[in-house]
Amino acid sequence: MDITSTLTLNNGVTIPRLGLGVFRSGASTKDAVLRALEVGYRHVDTAHIYRNEEGVGQALRESEVAREDVFVTTKLWNDDHGYDAALRAFDASVAALGVETIDLWLIHWPVPEKRLESWRAMERVLKEGRVRAIGVSNFMVHHLEELRANSEVVPAINQIEIHPFGQQAKVTAWCKEKGIAVQAYSPLTKAKRLDDPALGRVANAVGRTPAQVLIRWALQHDLIVLPKSADPGRIAENAAVFDFALDVPQMEELDGLEEGLHTAWDPTTEP
Ligand code: NDP
């Protein structure tokens, strides 16, 4: 496994295992993406609500890396649900990014009542070839079951919060069984658990930082992992995770940190 390693989605499209998250990267977004591309990332995760699709697009145009070599994800925001509204939102994201095709478009959150209609719009843009893969985010098993019973296309991805402190075992196992790839968002716990003593012990043992250990843990669990940083040094640090491995006892020690932590939001009670 190296920084160019990919996973093949259920529709044959390949996606790099490591992606740069840009939530709250703000005015630094363009520079963060340029830095990431320079150190070898080939995957960027943005969303309409992050208000930085333009910055991502600028970086794609300024970088020497070819557009087709970078996997770009964006997401449908909660206010844009419904068939026509979702189609309009897609056009707006395409325009903001300044790209012809989006690699992955996700439903950001399982908005009740409207999400099935939005999914039909997503199936349409997929059929039209304007997006290479469609998926969901923050979907729990009951949301996925509902979608399965009412749609044609199986989501390629479910993007959810995952780190050792909140592993979402049930939904992750469900997705695996159904061929839906899982992306780990907030893999660094938004920096809230980087000083955990057990994590620190593992980091010392492998001579790496806690952030690197968390990213490696996610990779070794076959997840696609999306650490965010807007700092040039930390962007490189978070990519330097392919020249060491966690052994079985270290993985087990980290697996033992489960505490049901959600640092972003918890979709389990969303109807
Ligand atoms: P992360 O878990 O990736 O943590 C980011 C925080 O950690 C920032 O404060 C960052 O600061 C800091 N950090 C980054 N690298 C290091 C390091 N090596 N050492 C110490 N601190 C570090 O949080 P996010 O919530 O941003 O999640 C990552 C991405 O996942 C998002 O950017 C977004 O793309 C996606 N996401 C999706 C959601 C969804 O609902 N679909 C919800 C939340 C996130 P600094 O920038 O200064 O380095």
Q: What is the pLDDT of residues 170-199, one digit of tens each?
A: 999 999 999 999 999 999 999 999 999 999
When pLDDT is averaged across residues 125-148 and rounded to a whole number, the result is: 98
Q: Are 184 and 158 in contact (CB under 8 A)?
A: no
Q: Are 17 and 225 in contact (CB under 8 A)?
A: yes
Cα–Cα dist 32/190, whole Å: 17
- The residue among 61, 58, 45, 55 whose CA lies nearest residue 106 is 45
Ligand 1 atom 25: residue of nearest CA: 186
Q: What is the pLDDT of residues 216-236, one digit of tens each?
A: 999 999 999 999 999 999 999
Q: 74 CB under 6 A from ligand 1?
A: no
Position 137 pLDDT exceeds 90 = yes
Q: What is the mean pLDDT of the chain?
A: 98
Tokens coding 112: 């009740």
CA of 69 to the centre of ligand 1 (A): 23
Residue 50 annotated among the catalytic residues of the structure = yes
When pLDDT is averaged across residues 35-55 and rounded to a whole number, the result is: 98
At 264, the pLDDT band (50, 70, 90 cuts) reads confident
Quote the pLDDT of residue 194. Answer: 98
Ligand 1 atom 6: residue of nearest CA: 190
Q: 230 CB under 6 A from ligand 1?
A: yes
Residue 37 CA: distances (Å) to CA of 6, 18, 20, 84: 16, 12, 9, 34
Quote the pLDDT of residue 107. Answer: 98
CA of 91 to the centre of ligand 1 (A): 27
Name residue 14's beta-bridge partners.
8
What single-letter amino acid sits at 181? A
Q: Which atom of ligand 1 lies nearest, measured to the CA of 231?
A: 48
When pLDDT is averaged across residues 36-60 and rounded to a whole number, the result is: 98
Quote the pLDDT of residue 53. Answer: 98
Cα–Cα dist 158/176, whole Å: 10
Catalytic: which of 41, 50, 83, 185?
50
Name residue 138's beta-bridge partners.
none
State the burial class of residue 151 (Cβ atoms within 10 Å of its Cβ: 0-12, 13-18, 19+).
middle
Pocket of ligand 1, candidates 24, 76, 226, 229: which has the most ligand atoms within 8 Å of its Cβ, to mutate?
229
At 215, the pLDDT band (50, 70, 90 cuts) reads very high
Alpha-carbon dihedral sign for residues 104, 138, 235, 207: negative
Full-model pTM: 0.98
Residue 137: CB atoms within 10 Å: 23
CA of 257 to the centre of ligand 1 (A): 19
